[in-house]
Amino acid sequence: MKKMAALLLFASLSFSPFIAALAQTPAAPPQRVDSELYWKIRKEGTERSQAMRTLHFLTDVYGPRVTGSPNFKAAAEWTVNQMKAWGLKNTRLEPWDFGHPGWGNERLTAHIISPVKDALVCEALAWTPGTNGTVTARAVQIVLPERHTKEQLTAYLDGVREQVKGKIVLVGRHQTLPVTFNPQNKRREDQDVRNQYTPNAQPAIVPPFAAATPASPAAAAAPAQATPQSPAILTPVQTRDILDQFLVANGVLVRVNDTGREHGQIRALNNRTLDTSKVVPTVVMRNEDYGRISRILADGTPVELEFNILNRAYPEGSTSYNVVGEIPGGDKADEVVMLGGHLDSWHAATGATDNAAGCTVMLEAARILNTLGVKPRRTIRVALWSGEEQGLRGSRAYVKEHFGTFENPKPGYAKFNGYFNVDAGTGRIRGMNIFGPPETANGLRQALAPFEDLGFLGVIATANVLAGGSDNISFNEVGLPGIDLGQDPIEYATHTWHTNLDTYERVVESDVRSAAIVMAAAVYHLAMSDEMLPRFTKDKMPALPPPAPTPSPRPAASPAATPR
C-alpha cells in the first residue's frame, strides 16, 4: 500500500525529423519488466535528483560551450570528474581532429551615436574576426538583387563599392515580422503523440515539432544549368562567397545582419568556412534595432555607429574531445548500450536547452543506475559529443573510430546494442524513433509502457538516415540502431533554439527529472535483454543521401517546427 501511494505521488510529475512509415509490425514476445527496479529508479530520480545541479554547472559556470573553446574543454573536464565522483568507470576525454582553431567572443559593445545615442543589442557571428579596438563609422545599407547571375551581382557590387569602403555595412532589407496570434502549444496532445508513436497509426496532423526536410545538399551546392539564353543563377553559397570577398577587399569595418526574429531574439551561428581571414567582423543585430537604423537611413538621415568586438582564436582547439564514462557490464560486458547528447553549444547564450538539458538527462540517468548499484549484463556507456553544431563531427569521428562503417565494420560493430540521443530542448520524452526494421521497436515499447504517467507514449521504428539531424544520425548512417527521442516542444523552436534566450531559466525541472527516469529504465532494458536489437540487412539498408560539400549546422526549420 505504501508503494501504491508513492506511485500515485510520482504520477503527479509533469507530464521528429522524417519518421518512416514502416510495414506491419510483428507481434512481440512478452518483455520482462523489473517493477521493483522501476520503483527504485522513480524514487531516486524524484527524491534525490542532481539534475539541476548538473545543469547549473554546464550552463552558468561553463557555458557557452563552443567546440574548440576553453569553455568547452572546461565543461568536458568537469563532466569527466563528476562521472568519476558518481562512481562511473573508464571516464575519459577522447580526442578527435576538428581541424580548425577554436573560437570565442570575449566582448561586444554596439551603439548608435548619431543622430541619436543608444545601445544596440547584437551577437557576434562565430569564427569571424574582431575589430581593432573601438571603431566608429557611417552606416550603409546594401540590398542584393534577388535571383541574380554572377554578372548581375558583380554589377551591383561595383555600383556600391565606393559607398561601403571603410564603412559599417548593413546587409539586406529589414525583415518585417507579423505578430503571432496563434502561438504554438508548448505541450503536445496525448492523442497526437499516440498517433505518431503507435505502430501502423496514421497521424491525423503533422506533429507541430516535426523537422523540416532539408533540401538536397547537392542541389544547394550546384548552380542551375546555364544556357546562352539563360545564364546560371547563383546559389546562396556562391553569393555568400562573392559578397564576403567584396567586403574584405573594400575594408568594411563591420558587417551587420538582421536576425529576423521577434521580441529581441538573436540567432547567431557561424561563418561557414570557419576561417576568420575570409570575412570581416560580423554581428547579428536584433530585428528591432536593425529596423530602427534601416528606417532612419531610408529617411536620408546619416547614421553613425560604434562597435568594439573582441573575438579570440584558440589554435589548441583544433583537437576537440568527446566525453565518455561507463557502468561496466557482466556476462555480456563486451556488448555496449550507449546514451548521450551533444555537449557543445552556440555562443549567444549558455546552451541550456541545446543541449545541456539533454546532457543532464543522460548523465542523471547514468547516475541513477549507478547509485542503485545495478549490475547490467551489457556495458552502459555515456557519450557527450563536441562538434555537433558544425555537422555531427564529434559523433561521426567516434563511430568511425570504434565501429567502422556498414561496409567495413570494426570488431565493436557487432557488439553494439543501441544509442539513445536527446537533443530537442527541455520537454518531456514522449516517444522514441529507433533505426531498424519494424520489429526493432517491440521490446522497448513494451518495457516502457509503465511510464505513460510521465507522458511517454510509444516507440516506432524508422529508416531515417537524412543528414541534418542530431547525433543519432551518425549511428544510423552506418546501419547501427540510433534512437531519437521525441519531446514536448515547450519553447524550443519558437524561442530558445540557437538563440540568446537559451539559458538555465528556460529549462523545466520536472520535465528533466521525468526524462531521466524514463531514460534510466530504457537503457537498463537494453542492457539486460537476452537478444540484441534487430538491424537492417544489406538488402534493406536505406540509401544514404548525397554528402554535403562541407559540414554545416542543422538546417533551419519553419517557425512551427522543432529543429533536431
Q: Is the pLDDT of residue 18 over 90?
A: no
> What average pLDDT does this structure show over 494-501?
97
Residue showing cell 543608444: 118
Specify the DSSP element, H or E, that contains 529: none
Query: Considering only CA atoms, which of 297, 362, 376, 305 is closest in space to residue 334?
Result: 376
Which of 53, 87, 17, 75 minimizes the C-alpha distance to 384?
Answer: 75
Residue 204 has pLDDT above 70, yes or no: no
Q: Is the pLDDT of residue 210 over 50?
A: no
Q: Using one digit for the tens of pLDDT, what is the confidence trace for 161-190?
A: 999 999 999 999 999 999 999 999 999 999
Distance of CA 315 to the CA centre of its chain: 24
Q: Is it the case that residue 201 has pLDDT exceeding 50?
A: yes
The pLDDT value recorded for residue 19 is 38
**Is it the case that residue 298 has pLDDT exceeding 90?**
yes
Q: How far apart are the C-alpha atoms of 434 and 126, rounded to whole Å? A: 34
Q: Distance between CA 132 and CA 309 in Å, rounded?
A: 8
What is the model's pLDDT at position 469? 87
Q: Report the run of H or E that residue 145 belongs to, with start and end.
A: none
Please give the mean pLDDT across all residues of the chain: 89
Distance CA 551, CA 97 (A): 14
Cα–Cα distance between 449 and 35 in angstroms, integer?
11
Alpha-carbon gap, residue 338 to 296, rounded angstroms = 55
Residue 223 pLDDT greater than 50, yes or no = no
C-alpha span between 212 and 83 (Å, rounded): 36
Q: What is the pLDDT of residue 211?
A: 37
Q: Assess whether pLDDT exceeds 60 at residue 6.
A: no
Task: Please report the pLDDT score of residue 206 as a whole number.
Answer: 35
Q: What is the pLDDT of residues 19-48, one digit of tens each?
A: 333 434 455 566 677 899 999 999 999 999
pLDDT in tens, 516-525: 999 999 999 9
Give long-range contacts, CB 8 A cutoff, 24+ apart: 24-30: 24/199, 24/200, 24/438, 25/199, 25/200, 25/438, 25/439, 25/441, 25/442, 25/461, 26/438, 26/439, 26/442, 28/439, 28/442, 28/443, 28/445, 28/446, 29/442, 30/446
Q: What pLDDT score was predicted for residue 28?
A: 58
- pLDDT of amino acid 466: 82
Tens of pLDDT, residues 228-275: 556 799 999 999 999 999 999 999 999 999 999 999 999 999 999 999
> pLDDT-derived band of residue 548, with 50, 70 and 90 as boundaries?
low
Q: How confident is the model at residue 229, as a pLDDT?
A: 58
pLDDT at 167: 98
C-alpha cell at 366: 547514468
Q: Say yes or no to pLDDT of 407 above 50.
A: yes
For residue 303, the Cα-to-chain-centroid distance in whole angstroms is 37
| Interval 284-296: pLDDT, tens | 999 999 999 999 9
Q: Is 333 helix (H, G, I), strand (E, B) or coil?
A: strand
Nearest alpha carbon to residue 524 among 420, 408, 388, 439: 420
Q: What is the pLDDT of residue 552?
A: 41
419 vs 552: which has the higher pLDDT = 419
Q: List b or e across 435-454, with b for residues whose CB sees 16 or more CB atoms inside 10 angstroms.
A: bbbbbbbbbbbbbbebbeeb
**pLDDT mean over 10-15:** 36
326-367 per-position pLDDT tens digit? 999 999 999 999 999 999 999 999 999 999 999 999 999 999
In sequence order, what E strands does 263-388 have? 282-285, 304-314, 319-327, 332-342, 378-385
Q: State pLDDT tens for residues 458-476.
A: 999 999 888 678 999 999 9
Q: What pTM, to 2 d.p., does this model score?
A: 0.88
For residue 440, pLDDT over 90 is answered with yes
Per-residue pLDDT, 225 = 53
CA atoms of 526 and 536, how far apart (whole Å): 18
Whole-angstrom distance, CA of residue 328 vs CA of residue 104: 37
Instruction: With a cut of 80, say whether residue 426 has pLDDT above it.
Output: yes
Any bridge partners for residue 379, and if so which? 336
